Structure 1
Amino acid sequence: MFDITPYPTFSWSLSRHKTLTSCARKYGYEYYFSHNGWLSYNVEPFHQHVYRLKKLQSMPILFGQIVHRFIEQAINDYLQTGKPPSLEELIHWARGQLNAAFVDSTRHFELWRQKPTKYYMMQEIYYNGMLNPELIQDYKERLRLVFNHFLMSETFRQITAQKGSLRIGEPEQFRSMKIDDIQVFVVMDFHYYDELTDKWVIVDWKTGSESDDDRQQLALYAYYVQQKYRVSLEQIEVYNEYLLTGKRKKYVFTDIDMDNILYTFQRSVLEMKKYQADIFSNEPLDIEDFEQTLEKWHCRGCNFRELCEQI
């Protein structure tokens, strides 16, 4: 049975680290003040409100989640049946999910307000009341691009060509490891062991543009695989598949990269602990002690901006 605790368990992830570096106030809302907001009783309305805002999904985030979901399904279905999906099937499935999100956001506001995990609410519709027609058209065109590039990708071609020699990594999406007794969460898209080359291969599907953060993210994945399977970095190959452009990028990591990841983790944990009123229970400081960012461009796409405007 799920235990209800007054405060969340402290953990670390790269996304949590990036949230704190962008805005401490957002970090507080996301990782502390949304806690227990999913409960329908014995919880303050403030926490319910924060939790609802946490569940808002912007079009880029929603699009990426849906594409990743159907890529994962396509790979799993192929491994079970030997039949790859068609481009039109993938587009049809994903478009259905996007349409469902639009219907929920425009017609089921009260249902979402009561059960924000059961219904979609698009951030753009919540704050602006509508989706920009140009945005809709842009993402319609992206659907065909990203799924076509997925089917044509070297990774998927290798899966279909070497089905018998690949050992696919555990299917659960959320993986974790312990570093300095702290739970570290890692969300890898896809990884497998290639028996022919004696290599572990990590693949991250990207539905957006290249980012300076991509290398750091993949270095953490490489560290996870290195620790979990007790293999050397020479046995690990790491790739980004950029689905908008069809570009594939390979990364080579060294022990220095692993040391840098651990250094980032350690410094980040120290910074996070500044916002704990009690390090044992993980009770946070008051929300006013979580500073708002001075770089206001971060606020434009923030789920919690209405809360900051109220203060």
Structure 2
Amino acid sequence: MFEISPFPSFSWSLSRHKTLTSCARKYGYEYYFSHNGWLSHQVEPFHQHVYRLKKLQSMPILFGQIVHRLIEQTIIDYLQTKAVPSVAELVNQARGQLNAAFIDSTRHVDLWRHKPNKFYMMQEIYYDGQLNTELIADYKSRLEAVFTNFLQSETFLQITAHSGSLRIGEPEQFRSMKIEDTQVFVVMDFHYYNDLEDKWIIIDWKTGGPSDDDRQQLALYAYYIQQKYRVELDKIEVYNEYLLTGQRQQYTFTSFDMDNILHTFRHSVLEMKKYQADILSNEPMDLEDFEQTSDEWRCLRCNFKELCPTKIS
């Protein structure tokens, strides 16, 4: 039976770590003060408000989520039916989902306010009242390139050519492992085991450009596979598929990279625990104890900016 807990359970993920390093106040909103905000009763309106803001989706995030969902479904459908959709079919589906998000954000605002986990609200519309026409044109123009490059990617060609020798892991599933008694969550886009080559392959689909975080993110995925299946690192191949350009980037990891991940994890957990008023219940400190970032450019695209006093005009 579902029980309402007053505080969230403590866990670690790379996204949680990056949020804390970017802004402790945002970290507080995201992982503590939005807790139970999805409830319609037995919760303070403040937590409901924070939860609604947490569910805002900016155009880049929404675009990436839609593309990832369609890629996941395409792979699942192919493994079951051997059918490959056309680029036009994928583009039309993506446009339909983008249009649905726009309609929710403009016509179903009251429904979103009551059930923010069931309806879309685009961040740009929430704060600006409209979508920039150039932004719309930009992302719609990306759809054909993204799906063309996906269908022509080495990863998808491997799936269609050798599906019988591949042991496919469920894509986009929440996975977790324990590191030093802390629950660590990992969400991999796609991975599989190749029987012919005796290799584990990890794929991360990217709808944007390369970032400084890519290597660290993939190193964590490699660590997860290494620990879960008890395999050596030389049996793990890791790739970024940059769908906008069609480029593929391979990463090679060593035990030094795994040590770095563990160092990041340990230091990050210590920092997170500074914001716990009670380490056993994971009760947070007061909101004011979560410092705001001094990098005001971060506030411009933050979901929670209406809650924070800021110098930005």
| Alignment-mate amino acid for residue 301 of structure 2 | G
Matches within 5 A, 1:99-248: 99-171=99-171, 173-248=173-248
3-state SS of paired residue (1:162): helix
- Segments ≥4 residues shifted beyond 6 Å: none
CA apart distance, 1:2: 2.1
Distance (Å, rounded) in 1 between the aligned partners of 2:102 and 2:44:
29
Percent sequence identity over aligned pairs: 77
The CA deviation string for residues 108-132 of structure 1, in whole angstroms up to 9 with x for no partner, is: 1110000001100000000000000
| Alignment-mate amino acid for residue 56 of structure 2 | L
3-state SS of paired residue (2:197): coil
CA apart distance, 1:173: 1.2
The CA deviation string for residues 170-209 of structure 1, in whole angstroms up to 9 with x for no partner, is: 3461110000111000000000000110000000000011
Is this contact kept in 1: 2:171–2:189, CA < 8 A? no
3-state SS of paired residue (2:248): strand
5+ residue gaps, structure 2 = none
Aligned residues: 311
Q: Which residue of 1 aligns with 2:67?
A: 67
| Alignment-mate amino acid for residue 281 of structure 1 | S
Q: Which residue of 2 aligns with 1:264?
A: 264
Distance (Å, rounded) in 2 between the aligned partners of 1:235 and 1:3:
42
The CA deviation string for residues 196-240 of structure 1, in whole angstroms up to 9 with x for no partner, is: 100000000000110010000000000000011110000000000
Q: Which residue of 1 aligns with 2:82?
A: 82
| Alignment-mate amino acid for residue 214 of structure 2 | D
2:29 paired with 1:29: yes
Matches within 5 A, 1:84-99: 84-99=84-99
Is this contact kept in 1: 2:171–2:188, CA < 8 A? no
Distance (Å, rounded) in 1 between the aligned partners of 2:305 and 2:172:
32
CA apart distance, 1:51: 0.2
3-state SS of paired residue (1:100): helix
Give the alignment's TM-score, normalised by structure 2: 0.98
Matches within 5 A, 1:292-307: 292-307=292-307
Q: RMSD value over aligned CA atoms?
A: 1.0
CA apart distance, 1:83: 1.0
Is this contact kept in 1: 2:172–2:187, CA < 8 A? no
Distance (Å, rounded) in 1 between the aligned partners of 2:2 and 2:14:
26
Distance (Å, rounded) in 2 between the aligned partners of 1:133 and 1:59:
12
The CA deviation string for residues 225-269 of structure 1, in whole angstroms up to 9 with x for no partner, is: 001111000000000000011000000000000000000000000
